[in-house]
Amino acid sequence: MVRERLIFHIDVNSAFLSWESVYRLKQDPEAVDLRTIPAIVGGDTSSRHGIVLAKSVPAKRFGISTAETIVSALKKCPDLTIVPSRFDFYLECSQKLIRLLEEYTPDIEKFSIDEAFLDMTETIHLFGSPAQVADQIRSRIRTELDFTVNVGIAPNKLLAKMASDFEKPDKTHTLFFDEIPTKMWPMPVRELFFVGGAAAGKLERIGLHTIGDVAACDEQILKAHLGNKYGALIHQYACGIDDSPVTEREPLNKGYGNSITLSRDINDYETACQVLLALSETVGARLRQHQVRCNSVCVELKDWQFNSLSHQTTLAVPTDSTSVLYQNACRLLKEFWDLTPVRLIGLRAARIQEDSYEQMSLFETEQSRKMKALEKAVDSIRGKYGIDSVKRASFLQDNTVVDHAVSKKKHWKQKDGS
């Protein structure tokens, strides 16, 4: 007998800020819990530049949102507490979460550092009813790991994702097909997954204000205003249709990549290169951390209409250098991007080989050798004192669209779980 699909979406509440609170309370049990005060993670605590990576619920009440500038957040809440990021510890928390979830099903998709999909179709009968199991998972995470999650329960990934975004924190929500008319369709169209500000504006201008309006709209009208591919996708999502499987995570040694969904569309080369520099820093640091090098570099772009573009190159010499990654990424960008506004930019290093197989380059200069030593020194300092202890001057400007510390977020819109 074929069972109806049962998907859980696990979403850490205010992930980076919750994990930062866990770290600080472990160091000092008398410390203030950042989750109880207006607080954010991100930016430079001394110069107060950069962007908001995560926010507490009290900070959210001031209208502070993820990815806005620190300057803007401080105008909304002058007494805001700002703390730097601690990505090594956040990754450790994420790994502990996945190990706990693996006790419930082998079919897990780690969607980002703070999100995971579980296909419970074949294992739910071992533990109890869906709601009971979800509540058990939440309770165990709260007790054993000291942070909280929301759990969305649904017959597909899209609806599970939508359900987990309902009331927070530390809640279980369902969104089955018969619940769509009452729970999802009355929501503003902006709340539908993958509908950004530009698309929401277009939909509202033709009279579509709720998700239900989009579901009831003729698909051809949506295609005419949003494009064939994106219009069809949004109509399917509004109707609760999503057949994508819960897939295994890509093996770490197959490639190293990072991408970010920006807070606004960008259409100029200089700003895009600044984003690529931030991505190059994180990808380069991970290559050096795992003592591997890449033989090819790929730049990926995605515009608001869900159109994807990519361009890659093969390197003459394998590298783990941030500077080499950045230089090649900017060259690729100039070769294939026509300045069409983009919302997502990604960088991927592929064809990985172990460090020990590198051949000496006859063309390596004294300057390149010094740059390698510098990058390793920066890695060491950041590993000891935090990611914000050293940053490039280009990330200290108020109009910076992305901070130098970009966490890995693939495919789904960048968010912190709050």
**281 included as an active-site residue:** no
User: Tell me, what DSSP letter sits at residue 399?
Assistant: T
SS3 at position 304? coil
Query: Read out DSSP for 234-259?
Result: HHHHHTT-------PPPPGGGEEEEE
Contacts of 316 (CB under 8 A, 6+ apart): none
The neighbour count for residue 331, using CB atoms within 10 Å, is 13
User: Given 3-state DSSP classes, what are the helix, strand and coil percentages for the chain, each rounded to the nearest 5?
Assistant: 45, 20, 35
Alpha-carbon span 353 to 68, nearest angstrom: 38
* Closest to 85 (Cα-Cα) out of 402, 393, 382, 298: 382
Residue 79 identity: D
Which H/E stretch holds residue 114? none
Residue 347 identity: L
Q: Which of 115, 270, 300, 375 is catalytic?
A: 115
Contacts of 338 (CB under 8 A, 6+ apart): none
Q: Is 386 within 8 Å of 85 (Cβ atoms)? A: yes
Query: b vs e for 25-50, b when ≥16 Cβ sit within 10 Å of the residue's Cβ?
Result: beeeeeeeebbeebbbbbbbeeeebb
| Angle formed at CA 170 by CA 168 and CA 176, multiple of 5 degrees | 75
Query: b vs e for 138-149, b when ≥16 Cβ sit within 10 Å of the residue's Cβ?
Result: beebeeebebbb
| Cα distances (Å, whole numbers) of residue 208 to 80, 233, 262 | 37, 16, 25
List helix spans (H) across 178-268.
180-183, 197-205, 211-216, 219-226, 228-238
* Token pair of 232 as six digits: 């069809």
Phi, psi of 159 (to 5 degrees): -70, -35
Active site residues: 115
